Structure 1
Amino acid sequence: MNIIKKEIDKLNAVLTVEVSKEDYSANVEKVLNNYKKTANIPGFRKGQIPMGMVKKQYGKAVLVEEVNKVLQGALHKYLTEEKLDILGNPLPKNEAGINWDDDNYSFEFELGLAPQFNVDVKGKEVLQYKIVADDEMLNNQVKTIRKQYGKLISKKEVEKGDEITGTFTSTEKEIEKKTTLSTDEIAGKKQLESLIGAKVGDTVTLKTKGMFADDHDNQKYLGVAHDEAHGLDIEVSFNIEEVNKREMAELNQELFDKLFGEGKVSSEEELKAKIKEDAEGQFAQQSDQKLLNDVVESLIENTKFDLPQEFLQRWIAMSGEKRLSEEDAKAEFERSEKGLRYQLIEGKLRAENKLQVTFDELKDYSKNMIKAQMAQYGQMDPSDEEMESITARILSNKEEVERLSEQLNSAKLLNFFKENAKLKTKEITYDKFIKEAYA
């Protein structure tokens, strides 16, 4: 067995694998001898078939199979021992030209070589958002809580701020939807004027265009499909069945204990502080995901290297169940190029900075996740035996292991970027973050 590597350029090479008779002949003879013992050929007793007949019937197929086994094993060993970093898989180059009547064979394979490059995470500055809960948000949250835990007072006539229960109907769109909404949800001035002063039992005709600030509310309150909700412009009838004024709950110890447990919050200031802490904890997750996405985009854009594009297009064309045309393979490469570039960048970062996830890390991560979930249901101190049992069960599930590994991989990468990337922090409210980050 002899293997020769010829570099075409820095990204392409050709491997020539020379297979001689001595590399495969013993395996071929062994298989044919087994066939001789077990094959069923009419006119011959089992095990008494002449070897010449066995070779005539099975010889070529066995030869091809055993040579390919030797060939694939030699390829794998060579690539591993030489530590060749290749993209895709080796592509046969002269497969159609092999003369299987010879004793010795020479196989050629094209290789796409991974590019050499450096990753500079401290290069271009990336914006990191710190989302804060401002006074307006905190006041609105307190107001929402007071409404949620307040009392409903039944009324006969609609006034501003009341909650109305009724049924929307429309024969045109086949709407018949019972709902409860506050007059505060009505954005249209004419629609609000039609509702104010209406009484229980009245039926009010309303135009849907501009009735709500967000067209998605047409889906929520009228029951229309998502696609119909956008730009809905019809008349609907609204039969008023119930009117209630919501008397807001007092900010007292009874409410605080109901919300957070006995004695944990004892004033409006502490309530706002708790709301702020919880809200900003949730905001941090969105900010972190945005940061991770932005650093990734920056690395892809600013880490320059070439790829063996023609080789990869040929590999894409041949690697699927159905061979693709040259045009389709090129289009598929263009769709996947960005992802491939990031795979190479991420792989280099993980290898150079030891960011790979170990089993012990995955096990600890699983335990912490389980503890957090159990704490939500009041199980604050599970036993070690219980934790080990649940963790073992989770880690025996392949899909769960993949999901948790992906989460932990992202967390490790995010922490690495926070510690090493060139970041500029910007403090911003949640509403402004949504507008600015996802405009």
Structure 2
Amino acid sequence: MANAVENLEKLERRLTITLPISDITTEVEKRLKERARTAKAPGFRPGKVPMKMVAQQYGAYYHNEVLNEKVSAAFSKAVEENGLKIAGAPRFDEKTGDDVAKDEVAFYATFEVYPEVKIGDLGTVELEKAVATVTDAEVDKTIEILRKRQAHFHAKEGDNVTAEDGDRVTIDFTGRIDGVEFEGGKAEGFPFVLGEKQMLPEFEAAIRGMKVGETKVFPLTFPENYHGKDVAGKAAEFTVKVNKIEQAHLPEVNEEFAKALGVQDGNVAKLREDIETNLKREVKNRLTAINKNRVMDALIKVSEFDVPQSLVKHEIGELTELTRRDLAIRNPAQKDIALPPELFTAQAERRVRLGLLLGELMKDNVLAVSDDKLKERATEIASSYEHPKMVMDYYLNEPSRRKELESMLMEENAVDYVFSKAKVVEKEMSFDELMAQQM
């Protein structure tokens, strides 16, 4: 039997499960007899092993098996009778004390329930919706970037030649901290394009204006957030010698250039069209991500409720595992690095909270995704691949990928729904500002 549910802290609940010892004993004896029919032991024929020996060998195993089954069954029955929605797995602890009858065993089942999720008044929410457009200027800028990627460099000619932005300079350099060379602070014949932010601004500023054969000594303080932690925030002194200065020669935007970028007939207009299509796709994806985050933040802010910590812990485990896999790929030496749960707590709680909110919205069917919408999005994704039909089949006919696509569209429907209810102000973002956003 199970007692009434006790409310502990927040979403935590507890109930007491009691079982007659006779029920457990009877079932254990039944299973031992079944086992005895085929049991083997030295000196005995199969099925003729004395019951006492069978009980010694298998009794503890069957006792634990029966006990677990009966406790789980009693818990499930109590959950159903009390109309509970369990979040995560329950914890069972044996109950002892004078209030436990001698002919019974008792257990505490401690667990969490799902919260009552109520979404607040979305009409009171003020939301800023990011919008952006792609113009000919963005297409031109992209073409210039592509031209630079296909640039050819030749020695810079003329009298009194100095290093300028856009030039490729080849240098020898040595860095010292407190007079001592440090790891990664020395190179010979090192080429980089000046002005492309491949080096720290202070380093590039020192090179700018130098001549071939010239040597310069200059100070440089590494940023506090510099990726090289051994030198971050420290003051260094660099000695640099310029070996070579080369000028970039960019290809003309013509048929040959278009073919080099995958336009088979060399049509420059088609190249511009393709670039514009790709830029619009990227802009759309970035706007979707930005606006989605804003909507989700608003949903969380307007809907206060406790989240089950068991679900948060599970999510922390998932995030930890994903991070370990990523580290193993990027740097195998870090695959076993300690990852404290606190690193993921806030992110895990946010994900659980959003999952519950989206689940609440699903009850009103506002997030439903039609087959036509799925096909439309799969077509859109596939359009950028060489074999679109294969990609469409991948998303529409492979169950896990179809579910992934459906989840993505449901989130987008949630964004649209909240925008339709909230007080929305559109704010134009420049292309460069949008591209600078971390995704």
- Residue 417 in structure 1 maps to residue 419 in structure 2: no
Show the counterpart of 1:245: 247
Map residues 400-439 of structure 1 onto 2, 5 A cutoff. Answer: 401=400, 405-406=403-404, 408-421=406-419, 422=422, 423-433=424-434
- 1:379-412 CA distances to partner (integer Å, 9 max, x unpaired)? 4666xxx976x679x949xxxx3x7745642332
Show the counterpart of 1:289: 289
Show the counterpart of 1:72: 72
Stretches of structure 1 lacking an aligned partner (at least 5 in a row): 220-224, 317-327
- 1:286-316 CA distances to partner (integer Å, 9 max, x unpaired)? 222222223222222321124678x999999
1:175 to 174, 186, 193: 186
How much has 1:357 moved relative to structure 2? 8.4
Q: 1:165 to 1:333 in 2, by over 3 A?
A: closer
SS at match of 2:283: helix
Contact 1:164 1:244 in 2 (8 A): yes
Map residues 25-36 of structure 1 onto 2, 5 A cutoff. Answer: 27-36=27-36
Show the counterpart of 2:356: 344
Q: Identify, as 1 or 2, the structure richer in helix.
A: 1
Show the counterpart of 2:4: 5
How much has 1:235 moved relative to structure 2? 1.6
SS at match of 1:115: coil
Q: Which amino acid in 1 is paired with 2:237?
A: I
The CA distance in 1 between the partners of 2:133 and 2:232, in whole Å, is 32
Contact 1:362 1:404 in 2 (8 A): no
Contact 1:138 1:276 in 2 (8 A): yes
The CA distance in 1 between the partners of 2:341 and 2:191, in whole Å, is 54
How much has 1:88 moved relative to structure 2? 2.9
1:205 to 216, 227, 244: 216
Show the counterpart of 1:191: 206
Q: 1:428 to 1:418 in 2, by over 3 A?
A: same
The CA distance in 2 between the partners of 1:34 and 1:190, in whole Å, is 86
Q: 1:140 to 1:7 in 2, by over 3 A?
A: same
Q: Which amino acid in 1 is paired with 2:126?
A: E
CA RMSD, aligned part only? 5.1
How much has 1:350 moved relative to structure 2? 3.5
Show the counterpart of 1:323: none
Map residues 27-426 of structure 1 onto 2, 5 A cutoff. Answer: 27-39=27-39, 46-52=46-52, 54-55=54-55, 58-59=58-59, 62-79=62-79, 83-92=83-92, 94-96=94-96, 103-120=103-120, 121-133=122-134, 137-149=138-150, 152-156=153-157, 158-159=161-162, 160-161=164-165, 163-170=167-174, 172-173=181-182, 174-185=185-196, 191-192=206-207, 194-195=209-210, 198-199=211-212, 202-205=213-216, 207=218, 209=220, 225=228, 228=231, 233-241=236-244, 243-256=245-258, 258-259=260-261, 261=263, 266=268, 275-306=275-306, 337-353=349-365, 355=367, 371-372=382-383, 375-376=385-386, 379=387, 395=398, 401=400, 405-406=403-404, 408-421=406-419, 422=422, 423-426=424-427
Show the counterpart of 1:325: none
TM-score of the aligned structures, taking structure 1 as reference length:
0.67
Show the counterpart of 2:337: none
Contact 1:365 1:408 in 2 (8 A): no
The CA distance in 2 between the partners of 1:294 and 1:97, in whole Å, is 54
The CA distance in 2 between the partners of 1:86 and 1:249, in whole Å, is 65
TM-score of the aligned structures, taking structure 2 as reference length:
0.67
How much has 1:33 moved relative to structure 2? 0.8
Show the counterpart of 1:320: none
SS at match of 1:353: coil
The CA distance in 2 between the partners of 1:372 and 1:335, in whole Å, is 33
Q: 1:256 to 1:331 in 2, by over 3 A?
A: closer
The CA distance in 2 between the partners of 1:97 and 1:331, in whole Å, is 41
Q: 1:275 to 1:124 in 2, by over 3 A?
A: same
Deviates more, 1:232-241 or 1:250-259: 250-259
The CA distance in 2 between the partners of 1:152 and 1:329, in whole Å, is 50
The CA distance in 1 between the partners of 2:168 and 2:342, in whole Å, is 59
Contact 2:217 2:239 in 1 (8 A): yes
Q: 1:102 to 1:259 in 2, by over 3 A?
A: same
Q: Which amino acid in 2 is paired with 1:238?
A: K
Deviates more, 1:228-237 or 1:118-127: 228-237
The CA distance in 2 between the partners of 1:234 and 1:340, in whole Å, is 50
Q: 1:258 to 1:289 in 2, by over 3 A?
A: same
Q: How many residues align?
A: 395
Show the counterpart of 2:321: none
Contact 2:95 2:106 in 1 (8 A): no
Q: 1:363 to 1:65 in 2, by over 3 A?
A: farther
SS at match of 1:415: helix
Q: Which amino acid in 2 is paired with 1:181?
A: F
The CA distance in 2 between the partners of 1:273 and 1:53, in whole Å, is 83
How much has 1:207 moved relative to structure 2? 3.1
Show the counterpart of 1:319: none
How much has 1:135 moved relative to structure 2? 6.7
How much has 1:32 moved relative to structure 2? 0.9
Contact 1:129 1:427 in 2 (8 A): yes
SS at match of 2:15: strand
How much has 1:370 moved relative to structure 2? 8.4
Q: Percent identity?
A: 20
- 1:239-282 CA distances to partner (integer Å, 9 max, x unpaired)? 423x4333443344544454462568556xx8666544432321
